[in-house]
Amino acid sequence: MTTCIEIRGLSKTYKNSKQLIEALKPIDLDVHQGEIFGLLGPNGAGKTTMIKLMLGIIAPTSGSCHILGQDISSLKAKELIGYLPENHRFPLYLNGQQMLEFYGNLGGMSGKTLQKRIDEVLEFVNMTEWRKLKIQRYSKGMMQRIGLAQALLNRPHLLFLDEPTDGIDPVGRMEIREILEVLKSEGTTIFVNSHLLSEVELITDRVAILRKGVVVKSGNTHELTQSRDQYIITLAGGTPPASLPGMTTYNAETHEIELTAASPEALNVALDALRQNDCLLATLSPKKSTLEEIFIALMSEKQEYLAPAK
Amino acid sequence: MIKIYALIRETFLEALSKKVFLVFFFISTAGLLILLAYCSSSGFQEQIHNLQPTADDPLGVALREKLRSLQSGLSFAFFNAALILAIIITSDLVPNMMTKGVIDLLLSKPLSRTMLLTGKILGGFAVVMVLTLYFMLGSWLIIAIATGVWTSGYMLSFFPLIITFWGLYGVLAYVGIQSRSSVSGMVICFLIVYTVSPLLFSREELLFQSVTSDFWRTLISAVYHLTPQVADMAQITSNIVQEKTVTNTVPYYNSLAYGALFFLLSAFSFSRKEF
């Protein structure tokens, strides 16, 4: 798998008059080409610092960051990226078309090539109809979509999105999600920074969770949300014995059993015990935690979530 | 080139969206209309008719004198008004560019910080040049058509005005980068234009009367040479309009050097700034 972002020992320490503030401790991270990667963390965790470092907006105290082999401080690396910042302030005195022309020009595009690309991205984000409308009259959702269009103008290999669905209604969020899915299918790598954990869980392939400038957890989103050794069994009939091996809870109303089984053998011992008690199994599934549960647990330092993902 | 052009154009549109730009434009237009009405009035036309070259005044000296006094008054008023409005219009261009949500996106584009700042500064400079040319060219044409005398001095006074602004704009950009606020830059520029420079310009009449120590006099003279000589430039402007010979060109170099120095400092500071 080709590495799109390669971060090695990247750190940032801010100096103010009285003290040194270690916003980001040395971090190693790889983001693969074509994946959607989520960066999570509470306020002050160092997410914004990390994004700014990756965009070359601030200089690192130590370490390096390469985008497809190019050092991020080079203009070549910036030709490969698109960026939609959080709390962006697009020029309100321009209309959508003028704004895209401005940012397209800054990216080095001009003339018919730029006009053709503007038509394409406006169509892609469903904003063609509103291209001549002043940006100050755009709704929040339209603002995000035109922002996404500007980030896509240069056909980026890597797209940075800082809180892309913040303040947008559910329909707007779904539209953005669909756009990201299409981009992913076209091979664009997407790096998302978001507070909306349910959104991140829906769209990302892998995540990293930052706390106090340190990556406390990273891995495949699916694996992270899978609870280790825990299962949910739903019964279609019968009652489980109180001595069922590994049973942690039983809900008589929903007929759901929560079970801990350290190995497949242990799980089968429990299933055999259920059958011996004339229980009829309806479903068996591994217990899933939401990303939000994991995040909250990590922030409150619950040790069970700090172990590496399988 | 396309990147610099885009920055200049966007800065122009930003300035155009401001009320103060419209105020500048409306004041200029109103000034031109008043001038047009005055020059078209029968009283003025009669005066011009009476001042036409005669056997006693074959070169039309009286007419030229009348013209010079009119243009001199106009140029003095415009020099001061244009500087105030130009400072106000351009004061927030750099600080606005540095606000969160604007600067992060600009810096993510494949262009250097120096180019970004240069484009922004040139954009502001272009705005002031266009507004200044609008009034000066308009008033020059009105007077020339009304009197039939085409003088060059009035139009040439455009250059000292623009060079004076160049020096102040450098200060404005540097203070804007350091403070990220438009107010500090404006206050410093207004202090230079309306307090420091006039005082230092008239230092011999105003300051040296009460300061007798050679040390302090030397210090005051040094400060005079090290600050933008706006009052001197106003004097030069007046001399150019009146077609007098300009002997002291130091204020030109002072303003040009001031602008260049502060733009270099601005570029250096901007390239090291963290956002």
Q: Residue A195: CB partners within 8 Å, gap ≥ 6?
A: A163, A166
**CB-CB under 8 Å, A94 with B2:** no
* Residue B250 CB coordination number (10 Å): 10
For A114, the closest chain B residue by CA position comes to: B2
Interface touch A55/B108, C-beta < 8 Å: yes
d(CA B114, nearest CA chain A) in Å: 13
Residue A48 CA, chain-centre distance (Å), reads 14
Q: Cα separations (Å) of A237 from A241, A274, B120, B209?
A: 13, 11, 75, 110
Residue A301's pLDDT band, with cuts at 50, 70 and 90, is low
Range of the domain at B150: 2-272
For the residues A32-47, what does the mean pLDDT come to? 90
Question: Scanning the structure block, which residue is given the tokens 């019964």?
Answer: A235
Q: Is B109 in contact with A85 (Cβ distance < 8 A)? A: no
Pairing state between β A214-220 and A226-237 = unpaired
Residue among A89, A94, A107 minimizing CB distance to B110 = A107
Could you tell me the residue ranges of all domains in chain A? 3-223, 227-289
B269: tokens are: 């500071």
Cβ pair A75:B14 closer than 8 A: no
State mean pLDDT over A59-72.
92
Nearest-CA distance from A191 to chain B in Å?
A: 14
Confidence of residue A309 (pLDDT cuts 50, 70, 90): very low
Q: Per the CATH hierarchy, to which homologous superfamily does domain A3-223 belong?
A: P-loop containing nucleotide triphosphate hydrolases (3.40.50.300)
Contact B109 A103 (CB under 8 A): yes
Q: Which two tokens stand for residue A10?
A: 């990247």
Contacts of A158 in chain B (CB under 8 A): none
Q: What is the pLDDT of residue B183?
A: 94
Range B131-146 average pLDDT: 92
- Is there a contact between B6 and A102 if contact means CB atoms under 8 Å apart? yes
The answer to whether A191 and A54 have CB atoms below 8 angstroms apart is yes
Angle, CA of B183, B187 and B189, to the nearest 5°: 115
Q: What is the pLDDT of residues A71-110, one digit of tens each?
A: 998 999 999 999 999 889 999 999 999 999 999 999 999 9
Name the residue in chain B with its Cα closest to that of A49: B275
Amino acid in the structure at residue B111: L
Q: Tokens 């060219």 belong to which residue?
A: B137
Percent of residues, chain B, with pLDDT higher than 90? 55
Q: pLDDT tens digits for B60-105?
A: 777 888 888 888 888 888 898 889 989 999 999 999 999 988 999 9
State the pLDDT at residue A218: 86
| Average pLDDT of chain B to the nearest whole number | 89
Residue B207: alpha-carbon gap to chain centroid = 26
ipTM at complex level? 0.84
CA distance A292 to A299: 10
Give the count of beta carbons closer than 10 Å to the beta carbon of residue A264.
Answer: 8
| Residue carrying the six token digits 């039983």 | A250
Token pair recorded at residue A203: 């769209």
Does A55 contact B16 at a Cβ distance shorter than 8 Å?
A: no
Q: What is the mean pLDDT of residues B190-217?
A: 88
Query: Nearest CA of chain B to the CA of A77: how many Å?
Result: 8
Q: Is A227-289 CATH 3.40.50?
A: no
pLDDT-derived band of residue A308, with 50, 70 and 90 as boundaries? very low
Q: Total domain count for chain B?
A: 1
